[in-house]
C-alpha cells in the first residue's frame, strides 16, 4: 500500500456495510479506481462531504493496485455549485457521467478525466450544456477507437466534401455520394472543430441554428449506434430540460 494524493471526480457511490461507501473515482493517473470511504455515511464523518457523486476534489488515498483502496481525506477543488443547484445543468452533468462510465468500460484511460473536467466546469459557468455535451460525445469517439475523419472523401480522397455518409463511416464528395442524408456544411464544420477543440479554451459558444443543433444530435446518435458498442444514456429528459432556463 502506498499513500498518494490525486485529483479525481466521483462517478459513482454505493452504500457498503452499515456506515461506509464504495466510491468509483476517475483520476488522471490511474483511470477509474474503487475506494472505500469508511464511516462516510455517519453525520460526524470528515469524509461525508467528499464521498458523493460529482465531487471534484483532491483525494488522499491509501492506494492498492489490486483491489480496494482506502480514502483517507480530501478537499474539494471546485464545488460545481451552479450544477448542484440547477436541474438542467445537473441533468447534463449526470448524462456526461453516465456516458463516461460506459466509455471507461471500453477504455479505462486517465486522459478521459482531462476531457470530462473542463466540460463540467464550462456547464457550471453557464456555457450551453447541450453543445458542451455534443463536444464531449464527439471527443469520446477517439477513446472508443472509431474517430471519424471529416477531411477527405472516404471513397476517392477528394477534399471537396458534400456530406457525411454514416454507412460508409466518412465524408463523401459529390461524385461518390449515394443518396444519403445531406448534412448542412456548418454541421460538418462544427463536428470537425469539436474533434480538435480544447474544451478549457472555449470562451464563447453560440450556435443558434435549430437545424444545425438537430443535425449534431442526429449525427452523434447514428454514428454511436453504428460504430460503437456502447450504450448511450437516454436524452429525452434532457430535451425537456432545455425548455427550462
User: Residue 100 and residue 89: Cα distance in Å, rounded?
Assistant: 16
Shortest distance in whole angstroms from residue 162 CB to Zn ion: 9
Alpha helix (H) residue ranges in the chain: 81-84, 87-106, 111-124, 129-143, 185-196, 210-227, 236-241
Which of 72, 176, 197, 238 is close enough to bind Zn ion by CB under 5 A?
176
Shortest distance in whole angstroms from residue 165 CB to Zn ion: 10
Q: Does 106 bind Zn ion (CB under 5 A)?
A: no
The backbone torsions φ and ψ at residue 23, rounded to the nearest 5 degrees and listed phi first, read: -110, 140
Show the CA angle centred on residue 221, arms to residues 215 and 222, nearest 5°. Answer: 90
User: Residue 31 and residue 109: Cα distance in Å, rounded?
Assistant: 5
Q: Does 193 bind Zn ion (CB under 5 A)?
A: no
Cα–Cα distances (Å) from 182 to 10, 87, 144, 152, 228, in that order, read 40, 35, 26, 16, 22
Nearest to Zn ion of 4, 176 (CB atom) = 176
Shortest distance in whole angstroms from residue 152 CB to Zn ion: 8
CA 238 from centroid of its chain's CA atoms: 15
Q: Does 158 bind Zn ion (CB under 5 A)?
A: yes
Q: Does 156 bind Zn ion (CB under 5 A)?
A: yes
Q: Does 90 bind Zn ion (CB under 5 A)?
A: no
Shortest distance in whole angstroms from residue 194 CB to Zn ion: 23
Which of 55, 90, 173, 199 is close enough to bind Zn ion by CB under 5 A?
173
Q: Does 151 bind Zn ion (CB under 5 A)?
A: no
Q: Residues binding Zn ion: what is the number (CB under 5 A)?
A: 6
In 3-state terms, what secondary structure has residue 158? Answer: coil
What is the contact mask toward Zn ion in residues 33 to 72, using x (rule: CB under 5 A)?
A: ----------------------------------------
User: Residue 210 and residue 208: Cα distance in Å, rounded?
Assistant: 6
Q: Does 222 bind Zn ion (CB under 5 A)?
A: no
Q: Does 155 bind Zn ion (CB under 5 A)?
A: yes
Cell of 50: 467528499
User: Residue 147 and residue 214: Cα distance in Å, rounded?
Assistant: 21
Q: Does 98 bind Zn ion (CB under 5 A)?
A: no
Q: Does 109 bind Zn ion (CB under 5 A)?
A: no
Tally the residues of the chain: 245
The backbone torsions φ and ψ at residue 185, rounded to the nearest 5 degrees and listed phi first, read: -55, -35
Q: Does 77 bind Zn ion (CB under 5 A)?
A: no
Q: Does 168 bind Zn ion (CB under 5 A)?
A: no
Nearest to Zn ion of 98, 158 (CB atom) = 158
Q: Does 22 bind Zn ion (CB under 5 A)?
A: no
Q: Which residues bind Zn ion (CB under 5 A)?
A: 153, 155-156, 158, 173, 176
Amino acid at each position: 500500500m502506498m499513500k498518494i494524493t490525486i485529483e479525481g471526480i466521483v462517478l459513482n457511490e454505493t452504500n457498503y456495510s452499515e456506515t461506509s461507501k464504495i466510491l468509483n473515482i476517475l483520476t488522471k493517473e490511474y483511470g477509474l479506481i474503487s475506494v472505500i470511504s469508511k464511516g462516510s455515511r455517519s453525520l460526524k464523518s470528515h469524509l461525508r462531504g467528499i464521498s458523493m457523486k460529482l465531487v471534484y476534489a483532491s483525494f488522499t488515498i491509501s492506494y492498492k493496485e489490486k483491489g480496494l483502496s482506502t480514502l483517507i481525506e480530501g478537499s474539494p477543488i471546485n464545488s460545481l455549485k451552479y450544477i448542484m443547484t440547477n436541474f438542467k445543468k445537473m441533468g447534463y452533468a449526470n448524462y456526461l457521467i453516465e456516458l463516461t462510465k460506459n466509455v471507461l468500460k471500453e477504455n479505462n484511460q486517465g486522459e478521459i478525466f482531462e476531457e470530462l473536467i473542463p466540460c463540467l466546469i464550462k456547464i457550471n459557468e453557464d456555457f450551453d450544456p447541450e453543445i458542451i455535451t455534443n463536444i464531449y460525445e464527439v471527443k469520446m469517439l477517439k477513446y472508443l477507437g472509431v474517430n471519424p475523419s471529416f477531411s477527405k472523401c472516404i471513397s476517392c480522397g477528394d477534399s471537396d466534401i458534400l456530406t457525411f455518409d454514416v454507412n460508409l463511416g466518412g465524408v463523401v464528395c459529390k461524385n461518390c455520394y449515394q443518396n444519403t442524408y445531406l448534412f448542412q456544411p456548418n454541421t460538418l464544420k462544427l463536428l470537425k472543430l469539436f474533434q480538435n477543440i480544447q474544451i478549457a479554451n472555449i470562451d464563447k459558444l453560440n450556435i443558434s441554428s435549430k437545424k444545425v443543433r438537430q443535425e449534431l444530435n442526429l449525427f452523434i446518435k447514428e454514428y454511436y449506434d453504428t460504430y460503437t458498442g456502447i450504450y448511450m444514456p437516454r436524452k429525452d429528459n434532457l430535451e425537456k430540460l432545455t425548455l427550462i432556463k
